[in-house]
Structure 1
Amino acid sequence: MNPIQQQSGVTLIELMVALIVLAIGIVVAGPGLTTFSGSSKLEAQSREIQNALVFARSEAIRLNQNVLFCHSVDSLVCSAPPVSGWRGWLVIPAAAAIGAETGPVLRANLFSDSTVKVSSGTVLASAQHALRFNSQGLIRIFGNNTPLSDSIRLCIADLSLQPNQYEVRFNSGGRLQQITTDTDGICL
């Protein structure tokens, strides 16, 4: 006689129960995942700007010449950002005037995520949205030797995201610091 063999597998009822548990987990974790996603976008772009500033400083020292970190809409020349915020940034050797850069682009990036608003602090905005690193690695206002200390703000207008703003602060000596703040969902 043939012995009856037991079949192993999953029944339809077990599969349905597993799918229901998975769906409940997704519904509960969903809002937390969007907050994590927004926070990671802010942190990633903030770190990217910080790294670009460190790179600009080191290139100014290495090349023994002035190097600019500035807003750019085309990754070729420095320009003033639109009211809606920065579109990208550029690291390039300084020229005689902002917007007249002809040297090789050392590094550039255009922001792909429009939910993150990037803006200059008031001192940086009055300095034509450009930081000039001199050959000693010090940050100065373009056109003169006045020290420049301010910040670049990155913000997502989302009430559920806390913190919803990162600031990359810099001082005239070249020191960088990343600060997180909560603006109650309002980006200025």
Structure 2
Amino acid sequence: MSASRTIRGFTLVELMITIAVMAIGLALAYPSFSSVFRSNRVATRTNTLIASLNLARTEAIRSNRGAGVCSSADGSSCNGANWDAGWLVFTDMDADGQMDADADTVVRYVEADANLSLASVEDVIVFDNRGRLDAEVTLTLESTDCPVNSELVRNLTLGRTGQIRMEKAPCTE
């Protein structure tokens, strides 16, 4: 009794054609995925910034002294208006409106993202013990790779009551 077996599989030519078709499909899909990645990066960073601002406001009310958010490159001190370097949330224990390493407590530090730019006129955003600001503050977050007319700019406006309003805007350059 002889049993004949047939061996089934792919030939090398079939495998190479399949790989070539997949490579062409990926090459066509990549540009649309890169815009999705940019959009998700902006959305994630915006949510992180909003969470940091809300945390500072909550800490200000909870501690009954005040709290703030400032730009920081090292996570232990403020460094002026360079918001691209990252930022930190601090509890203002001495209620002077500034981050003092020996007197105040760092609550959270968020590192920089080289793909995003964050700007504000204010060096420090300070909430009083009631969670309020002295004046309205605007922060602008945008992708560093921002194609014209893509809505990858986020303008965050903090009202004097501490409430945050976010608006999308198109890229200009």
Question: Which sections of structure 1, spanning at least 5 residues, go unmatched?
Answer: 141-145
Q: Provide structure 2 residue ranges, at least 5 long, that are not aligned to the other structure.
A: none
- Alignment check: 8 A CA contact 2:90 2:99 kept: no
**Structure 1 segments (4+ residues) deviating >6 Å:** none
Report matched runs for 1:109-124 at 5 Å: 109-111=110-112, 113-120=113-120
1:1-188 map, 5 Å? 1-82=1-82, 85-94=83-92, 95=94, 96=96, 98-101=98-101, 102-111=103-112, 113-120=113-120, 125=121, 128-138=122-132, 140=133, 146=134, 148-156=135-143, 157-159=145-147, 162-185=150-173
TM-score where L is the length of structure 2: 0.87
Report SS of the residue matched to 2:138.
strand
Q: Is the 8 A contact 1:35 1:160 kept in 2?
A: no
Deviation at 1:31, TM superposition (A): 0.8
The SS at the match of 2:68 is strand
CA distance in 2, matches of 1:69, 1:165: 21
TM-score (norm 1): 0.80
Deviations 1:21-65 (A, max 9, x none): 211111111111111111121111111100101111111111111
The total of aligned residue pairs comes to 169
Aligned-residue Cα RMSD (Å) equals: 2.0
Could you report, residue by residue, the CA deviation over 1:109-138 in whole angstroms, capped at 9, with x for unpaired residues? 121x21211101xxxx2xx42111122222
Q: Quote the offset at 1:106 in angstroms.
A: 0.8
Q: Cα–Cα, structure 1 residues 109 and 164, in superposed 2: closer, same or farther, change >3 Å?
A: same
1:155 Cα deviation from its structure 2 partner? 1.3
**Corresponding residue of 1:143:** none
Moved more, 158-167 or 128-137: 158-167
